[in-house]
A = this chain, B = another copy of it.
Amino acid sequence: MADVAAKERKILVAVDEGEESGNALSWCLKNVISENSKDTLVLLYVKPPRAVYTALDGTGYLFSSDILAAMDKYGNDVADCVIEKAKKICKDLQDVKVETRIEHGDPRDVICQMTEKLGADVLVMGSHGYGPIKRAFLGSVSNHCAQNVKCPILIVKKPKSTAGNN
């Protein structure tokens, strides 16, 4: 216990556009990060591959390059928005260094790879990344990470007040 304040931990928080990842980050700030820690908080957003968006069409038709460009722009806007929202949640942190990273690929694999690449001491994430529609394509990101990351993983569910069919 005495060394909590002294040691420097790297805490990787996987954020996305869902409400749960915001809750996960808030919970982490309140419960894992101690006041005088020298922790580094890395906010990671993984832009899913374009196939996830195009597959949403479901018709099998190819999109024109205009539409694909618009989709890419939309993807970038979402990424910026998610990271900004996450940074806002962290705005009161004083001693903790906050870094942000935007990566691209299958979130399940990229998140697991990033824990190793960054040497994360713990991975924090919401239970349902990427909302119900994208989850149907991507599978449960948190389930995959729970089984594959080497470091401790903290999965934060919906808060009790809003928990429905979780």
A interface residues with partner B (beta carbon < 8 Å): 1-5, 9, 24, 27, 29-35, 92-94, 121-122, 127, 142-143, 146-147, 149-157, 160, 163, 166
Copies in the complex: 2
Closest to A166 in B: B150
Asked whether, in the complex, the Cβ of A150 is within 8 Å of the Cβ of B163, the reply is yes
CB distance from A166 to the nearest CB of B (A): 6
Decide if A154 touches B154 in the complex (CB within 8 Å). Answer: yes
Contact yes or no, A157 B166, CB < 8 A: no
Name which of A4, A5, A121, A160 has the most chain B CB atoms within 10 A of its CB.
Answer: A4
- State A1–B36 Cα separation when bound (angstroms): 10
Please pick, from B24, B31, B153, the residue contacting A9 in the complex, using a CB distance under 8 A: B31
